[in-house]
Structure formats: structure tokens, C-alpha cells
Structure 1
Amino acid sequence: MAAITVRNLDDGVQQRLKVRAAAHGRSMEAEAREILTAAVSTSSMIVDWVDAASRHGVELELPQRSAPRELDLS
């Protein structure tokens, strides 16, 4: 497995990571791994997939959009 070092991490970010890790019952390192894994997961990369598909000639048919509903503020 690879290892990375994150330098110049803002103190506030480190503190929030520490709190988030504690809330999930994990170490800061485990929490950082979870965050990084989620950030590059397939579901979060849909925009990249759509972009790559369009660059390879794949036509994506978008659904028709209806007009926005009017709000009744009465």
C-alpha cells in the first residue's frame, strides 16, 4: 500500500478532522482514508465519466425538463 504525507494542513482542518474521526470512532488516519476513498469513488466521479464519454463520441440523451413550479406564497 502507498503512503502519503500531507504538509501545511491548516490547524482548523486538522481539528475538524480530529472531531469527525472521534464521532465515527476512528483514528484521524482512518478518517482521512475514508474521506479520500469517498472522494474518488465511482459515484462521486459521475461528472468525469460523462466528460470522458462525451469526448469519446458517446451521446447522452438528457431528459426533458419541465418549467419550474410556481410557488404559492399566500
Structure 2
Amino acid sequence: MAQIIIRQLPDEVHRALKAQARDHGRSAEAEARAILAESLGRSERPGAGDMLANIWSGADLTGIDIERDRTPHRPLDLE
């Protein structure tokens, strides 16, 4: 794994990092890793779940009665 050294970190930022780490029950180093992972780990591209949710986001589905298809499925034939 890579290592990083941050020079000239303002004292108030270091104090805030240590306080937040204490609140989360972890070391300042672990807190810094969590902050970096959370802020940089997200992709700019939406995931599949977000895209599916967006498809139906404007649909008004109130009062719609959908009947479940109870037709038995056909077993998969792998031969």
C-alpha cells in the first residue's frame, strides 16, 4: 500500500482531524484514510441502482394495481 506525508498541515486542521477521529473511535491516521477514501472513492458516474431509480423518479404510480404473474417457471435445461 502507498504511504503519504502531508507537510505544513495547519494546526487547526490537525486538531479538527484528531477530534473527529476521537469522536469516531479511531486514530487520526485511520480517520484521514476514511476521509480520503470517502471523498475520492466515489465515481463521478452514477451506479446501476441510481440509474434505475432515475428512470422512475418522475413517474406517478399511485393508484396503479399491478397483478403478479404467477405462471410457473420452466426449469433451465443445461444439456
TM-score tier, shorter chain, comes to: 0.5 to 0.7
Equivalent residue, structure 1, for 2:25: 25
TM-score (structure 2 length as normaliser): 0.54
Whole-angstrom CA distance in 2 between matches of 1:27 and 1:41: 20
Aligned residue pairs total 48
Q: Please identify the structure whose Cα radius of gyration is greater.
A: 2
Instruction: Please list every run of at least 4 consecutive aligned residues from structure 1 whose deviation after the TM superposition is greater than 4 angstroms.
Output: none
Whether 2:35 is the aligned partner of 1:35: answer: yes
Post-superposition offset of 1:6: 0.4
Amino acid at match of 1:14: H
Gaps spanning 5+ residues in structure 2: where?
Answer: 47-79
Aligned CA RMSD, in angstroms, stands at 1.8
Matched residue SS, 1:9: coil
Post-superposition offset of 1:3: 0.3
Whole-angstrom CA distance in 2 between matches of 1:33 and 1:9: 15
Gaps spanning 5+ residues in structure 1: where?
Answer: 51-74
Matched residue SS, 1:6: coil
Q: What's the CA shift string for 1:1-21, capped at 9, x where partnerless? A: 000000000000000000000
Q: Identity of paired residues, percent?
A: 46
Post-superposition offset of 1:41: 1.9
Amino acid at match of 1:37: A
Equivalent residue, structure 1, for 2:2: 2
